């Protein structure tokens, strides 16, 4: 469930600008402001069913963009590679190892991760 919300939030971050303003408002009220369907219905003056339909339609549009462009998937892969690079840099910063050749070998393996990001 949490994972589902994270995924939907990422989809909205990447493709939200391709929704209409009204669709964006409804998605934000639901996912960012955590309002219920009924609360959104009252706030924007359409039926609860109308809010539900608009939300599902907006989600469908965002998923369609992702299926074509795959930016969220790419972003998640990049993020995990960057976290790995960052950890490996920290390991060198914090190491007691004083052997330069060892450190250079570590740098080489960091470089191979950086190349995967390019």
CB closer to a second copy, 34 vs 98: 98
Determine the interface stretch with a second copy among 3-11, 31-39, 46-54, 107-115 (rule: CB under 8 A): 107-115
* Short-list 13, 30, 34, 10, CA closest to 22: 30
Burial class (CB in 10 A: 0-12, 13-18, 19+), 51: buried
Q: Report if residue 76 touches a second copy, rule: CB under 8 A.
A: no
Q: Which residues bind a second copy (CB under 8 A)?
A: 14-15, 17-18, 65, 68-69, 71, 79, 82-83, 85-86, 89-90, 92-93, 98, 100, 103-104, 107-108, 110-111, 114-115, 117-118
């Amino acid at each position: 469930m949490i994972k589902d919300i994270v995924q939907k939030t990422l989809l909205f971050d990447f493709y939200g600008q391709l929704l209409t303003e009204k669709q964006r408002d409804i998605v934000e009220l639901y996912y960012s402001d955590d309002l219920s369907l009924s609360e959104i219905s009252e706030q924007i003056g359409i039926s609860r069913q109308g809010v539900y339909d608009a939300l599902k339609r907006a989600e469908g549009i965002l998923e369609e963009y992702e299926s074509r462009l795959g930016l969220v998937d790419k972003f998640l892969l990049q993020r995990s590679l960057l976290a790995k690079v960052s950890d490996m840099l920290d390991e060198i910063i914090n190491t007691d190892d004083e052997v330069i050749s060892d450190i250079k070998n570590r740098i080489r393996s960091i470089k191979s991760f950086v190349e995967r990001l390019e």
